[in-house]
Amino acid sequence: MLPTGTIAPDFELYSTPDQMLKLSELRDRKVILAFYPADWSPVCDDQMTLYNEMGKYFARHNAQLIGVSVDSKWSHLAFIDHNKFNFPLLSDFEPKGGVARSYDAYDEKTGQCQRALYVIDEKGIIRWSYLSPVGINPGADGILNALEELDNVKSLNQ
């Protein structure tokens, strides 16, 4: 995992079959980057379903959630549709796992992303990260605490 305080590596990946999303386009917002092993797998399903309910809470902190896995954009499209997700899933498909590698969140053995979370601030700096055991859904408490802490620090500095 990349240490807190480092600049989040920029990337551009497919978010739908014909649209790409670039991390640096999201400057001025916080970004929650959730790397996960695979669409359709049991734990990922639970994790993303939970995050899908969190939109209101993330919005309070001016934060956008983005999921990343090595699945194809077509798999993501079906996965989003099936679960009614309201946040983008990016396809780290070619070169496979390239972005996950740059975030030190790639599992070479399985050829999948690890279950890794990053919170990136408005300036593109990594402020929090968490690597969860692959079989365990990390929940959202850690993310929420990190977002709150960032906003608290900001209000203290003002």
81 binds another protein, rule: CB under 8 A: no
Q: How far is the CB of 3 from another protein (least distance, A)?
A: 24
Number of residues forming the site for another protein (CB under 8 A): 18
83 binds another protein, rule: CB under 8 A: yes
Residue 113 appears among annotated catalytic residues: no
- Give the span between the Cα atoms of 119 and 64, in whole angstroms: 10
How far is residue 45 CA from its own chain's centroid? 14
Which one of 5-13, 33-41, 45-53, 64-72 is the stretch in contact with another protein (CB under 8 A)? Answer: 45-53
Q: Which of the following is catalytic: 8, 44, 80, 105?
A: 44
Whether the bond between 138 and the residue before it is cis, its omega within 30 degrees of 0, is: no
> What are the angstrom distances between the C-alpha of 113 and each of 5, 13, 97?
22, 15, 7
Q: Which residues bind another protein (CB under 8 A)?
A: 46-47, 49-50, 52-54, 57, 83-86, 137-141, 144
> What are the residue numbers of the active site?
44
